[in-house]
Structure formats: C-alpha cells, structure tokens
Chains A and B, each alone.
Chain A
Amino acid sequence: MKKHGISLVLLAIFTLLLVGLFLFHDLTGNRDYVLERRAWKVAALLLVAWSIGYSSVVFQTLTGNRILTPSIMGFEAVYLLFQSIIVFLYGDKTFRVLTESRNFGWSVLMMLGFAVLIYLFVFRREKNNMYFLLLTGLILGTLFSTLSSFVQMLLDPNEFSLVEARIFASFNKMNTSLISYAAGAGGLMLVLAVRYHKYLDVLALGREQAINLGVNYNRVVAVFLFIISVLVSVSTALVGPITFFGILVTNLTYELFKTHRHSVLLPACGLISCITLVAGQLMVERVFNMSTTISILINFIGGAYFLYILLTAKKL
C-alpha cells in the first residue's frame, strides 16, 4: 500500500510538471491571452482524461475484462450519426441553426437515450449478461456507422469538412462555456459515485461472489452504468470520439500498479490518463505541427498497443 502511495505521488508530480510545460513552454506574444487559451485547453484535456479513465476502469471491473471499454458500446456511432444528419439537413447553415451549446446538449441527450434504451431492452429480458449488452451495442453501432457513411456520401465536400471536424476528436477549438457544463456534470457524477466506490472491489470478484457477499448487485451495476454513460457521453460530445484511449490507459495502469484495489487503481488511472492526453496534445502541437489530430494519434498508438496485448497475452 505504501509503495503504491509513493508511485501515486510521483505520478501526480509528473502530471503537474507536464501541465506546467504545456502552459508555459514557448510563451510568446500576448501572454495573458495565450495563457488563458491554454488554461482552458488543459482544463478540457484533464476533464476528458479523467472521465474516460475513470469510466473505463469501472467498466472493466463490471465486465470482469481488461480489453473492453464503454466506447465500443455504440456511443460514438450515435454521436457521429447525429452530427452527420444535422449537417446533412442544414448544410453550411448548421452553425446558425444549432448553436454549439445546443448541439452539445442534444448530443449528450441522444447518447444517454441510446444507452438507457439498450440497458432497458437487454436487462428486461436478461438480468445479468454483460457481454450480451455489449454485443447488442456493437451491432447497433455498426448499423449506425453504415447509416452515417451513407449520409456522409450524400454531403458535398465542403459540408463534409464540417462533419470531419467532429469525427476526429480535437481540443483546438474549445468552447469555454461547454467545458464548464461538462465539468459540472463530471463533478455531479463523482459525488454520486463516491458513495458506491466501496462496492467496486467486491464487484470485481464477479456477480455470484458479489451477491453472496451481500451487495445489491443489479442496483449498484445500474448506478455505475448510468455514471459511465453520462461521463462518456459528455466527453464525446465535448471533443469527439477517442475510441482506444480507454484501453490504452487502463492497461498501462494495470501494468504499473499490480493491485486490484480501486482506491489505488482509480486515482492512478486518472493520473495516467491525464499524462497520456496532455503529452499527446503536446506531441500533436509541437512534433506533428497539427498535421494529425489527437484522436488519430491515440487510436493509432492505443490500437497498436491493444493488438500487442491480444497477441502476447497467454490467456484472454
């Protein structure tokens, strides 16, 4: 426990250093303006990193599996379909018809609605099958992406560039009021979650053991699924989808911290997520000179790492 404490402190220091580097490196021109922009960007990065890291760890505990993350359940497909459709309907007038805050609100609502629908649909029939829930989500996701591809085919290239800006997550054009809303939602979820954190270590033992130990399994799982859905929807609507981010950071966490205690795993994964995302954004800005986007970079690295896990793990 003590060893983990020291590692956590080291990680926290490293995160702070990285954030400092991001804020103050190459600070020229109108300092106040640049610093303010960068501060908002860092806030968004940390918020998204924490949301995805946290929800991925909890999700993997619920599913008893290291290689699944909530983003594969079709949230992103819903988001992309919604974005494609509004651009298809309103064309280049999209921004006049639908303000960014409205778009954000509707996107979150769509994704949450989708999540609630499939939870209801699956859990009404089958009380406990997580994999079944995932496959249903994935199939619906494939269905929605086929539809999005079709809608995108009909767009003219100028309009498509509007959609393309949303397909690939980006932190470069942050709307500051949205960050506050997202932070509010995230904070609220954290307050809700704290009361249930004590169950996570028991849930990790599996459904039967958890019930046997007196946990109200269905209720606790439902609460956590709700929290996960809110966090994932909000961060997707805020910056766009980053599919493989969750897999990358959770597995790095398990690799560095060989423990099953969530009191260690949750903060550790949060910090590692922050480091990964801030470092990724720094690389996109300073090394790639914006020639790629952070979601593509992270999906590329995360995907490769995931493939490595699949191919080297003795048992999955």
Chain B
Amino acid sequence: MKIAGYLIVLILVACVSVFIGVKDISITDIFHPDDEEMLILTVSRIPRTLSLILAGIGLSISGLILQQITQNKFVSPTTAGTLDAAKLGLLIAFLWMPQSGLLNRALMAFVFTFAASLVFLNITDRIRYRNIIFVPLVGIIFGNILSSVTSFFAYRYNIVQNVNAWLVGDFSSVLKGNYEVLFFSVPAILVTYLYANRFTVAGMGEAFSKNLGLNYRQVVNTGLFCVSLTVSVVVITVGVIPFLGLVVPNIISLVYGDNLRKTLPYTALFGALFLLVCDIAGRLVMFPFEVPIGVVVGIAGGVLFLILLFRKR
C-alpha cells in the first residue's frame, strides 16, 4: 500500500473515532451542529482524536529511533526503561512540587527519561556479545529498578493505587486545554525525519560513524533527546502505552524493509492507525464504559510481539 492509501485509511478511521461516544453525534450534524454538539466536538472529541494520532506517531517513531541507535529490533521505550523513568519523574514532580503546572511536570519527566536513556545506552555499550535478546532483557530489568524506586516513594506517601491508576494509558480524560503539550512531539518528529540517515549510520557503531565523518555523540544525543521529549509528553498527558514503540516499527520493517528514510512515514502513519483502532475497540467493548487504551494496546501489542518473536527465529 502506498503512503496515500495509508493517509486515506487514517483519515477515515479518525472520522470514525470522532463520532464514537456516549453522546450520539451523526456525520450530518457536522454541517448544522447545535451548541451542545459543537461543544462536545471541540472540547472533547477532536482533541481526543488529535492526541491519539500524535501519541501514535510519536511513540512508534521513538521506538524506531531507539532500535536504529542500538541496532536492536527489540529495543523500545517499553524495553529500555524509558517509560519507567518518565513515571518516576512524574511522581517526583507530584511529590516535590505539588502546585506545579503541566509544563513543569513535563519538564521533570523529560529530565528523567533523558538521563535514563543516556544510562541505558551506556550499559548496552558494555554488553559483551550484544546478544539480540540480552539487550532488551537488561533494559526491562533497568526499568524494574526505576519502578522499585517509584514504589518506594509511592508506598511511603500511601499513593500506590493512584500511581498505578494515573499511569495506565487512557485518553478519556483528554480535553481541550490539557493535551496541548503533546504538540511538543511534532518538532521532535520532524528532526527525526531530517536525521534519519544519520541515525542509520550511528547505529553501525562509534568508530564506523566517525570514519564516515559523522559527529557520533551529537547524533546519538539528538536522537535520545527527541525520544525522551516525545515519551515524556505522552506519559504526562495520557499515561503509559506499552509495546506500541516495539510492535509498530517491527511490523513495518517486516513489510517494507529497513531503509529508514523510506519507512519512517509508514511507521508514523501505521502507529497512529494502530492506536486509533485500539482506542475505538476499547471504547466499544463495554460501551458506554471504556477499557483504557493502555490495557488494549498492552494485550494486543504483547501478543503481537510474541508472535513476531517466535516468527523471527
């Protein structure tokens, strides 16, 4: 399927997503909406669909960059401790600066994710065999360490249940006025596109990229910066969505190969599409209630990932 095909499907699914909800709004209402319908559309429905698309694109691209930099198909925000670091940052922002706004919290989460990515990369550099499965294993354990710190503080302040609940990815609370931080991921995504070729070269190792005249440190840091920015704004606004950054790039690379410049748009569009579909499914399963998208993607993505893992061998 060509890019245009994906775009058309994405737009169609996005329209479906806008018109699903407890308040029944039909397509024809769009041309002569009454006040109430207008309000629901602009305050809730459209922001929700927009944020789904942004998060879908952002997370799948983040996964792709991490995979390129580490040259490992199984690395992603879920398996590199990135998501856990964002959680920890968020918790600390809540505890130490309870009055802080969304921006401050996003900044805190960003600082933690960026630091954690640097540490993770430092660790992978020292893994002897660079076994394809060993790297994500270490990443997940690294994430577990960060969560053990989170639970240490959460237990002390008796907010274990709240912490767990905030962080299950959920778009139902996205409203106009509280999701706009997500737009910070747009420049990050654009930078990724410009740097695509350089990430590929950087993935071949420090010596090799220096040989080709590439400023290795700068490229890797730019990549990690973009990933951390995207992941932290997503976690702040909607919570944790596991596996998305892992599964989407892998499916796309199975179909379209590994030319990053060429596959980036596909990865982005397919990520958005995947998230929209999961969200629609979560909203319809026990209508009018919702299953949080973190759970839907967690199950669908986990199963898909296992299938990929078994097929790869």
> Could you tell me which A residues sit within 8 Å of B by CB distance?
67-68, 72, 125-126, 129, 131-132, 134-136, 138-140, 142-143, 146-147, 149-150, 152-153, 155, 157, 160, 164, 167-168, 243-244, 291-293, 296, 299-300, 303-304, 306-307, 310-311, 313-316
Contact = CB atoms under 8 A, between A and B. Distances in A.
A139 B137 CA distance: 10
B26 interface: no
B141 A72 contact: yes
Contacts of A310: 123, 138, 142
A316 B138 contact: yes
A204 to B, nearest CB: 17
A140 B302 contact: yes
Contacts of A150: 168, 291-292, 294-295
B71 interface: no
B313 A126 contact: yes
Interface string B297-313: 01100110110011001
B148 interface: yes
Q: Identify whether the interface residues of A are mostly helix, strand, loop, or mixed.
A: helix
Nearest to A307: B145
A299 B165 CA distance: 22
A18 to B, nearest CB: 24
B160 A303 contact: no
28 contacts: A67-B141, A126-B313, A129-B133, A131-B133, A135-B309, A138-B140, A142-B140, A143-B299, A149-B294, A150-B292, A152-B165, A153-B168, A153-B292, A155-B161, A160-B160, A164-B160, A243-B144, A243-B148, A244-B145, A296-B148, A300-B149, A307-B145, A310-B142, A311-B123, A314-B126, A315-B126, A315-B127, A316-B127
Q: Which 9 A-B pairs have the closest CB atoms?
A: A146-B298, A143-B302, A303-B145, A299-B148, A131-B133, A150-B295, A153-B165, A160-B161, A303-B148
Interface of B: 74, 78, 119, 122-123, 126-128, 131, 133-134, 136-138, 140-142, 144-145, 148-149, 151-152, 155-156, 160-161, 164-165, 167-168, 242-243, 291-292, 294-295, 298-299, 302-303, 305-306, 309-310, 313
B310 A125 contact: yes
Contacts of A125: 310, 313
A160 B159 CA distance: 11
A24 B60 CA distance: 58
B152 A139 contact: no
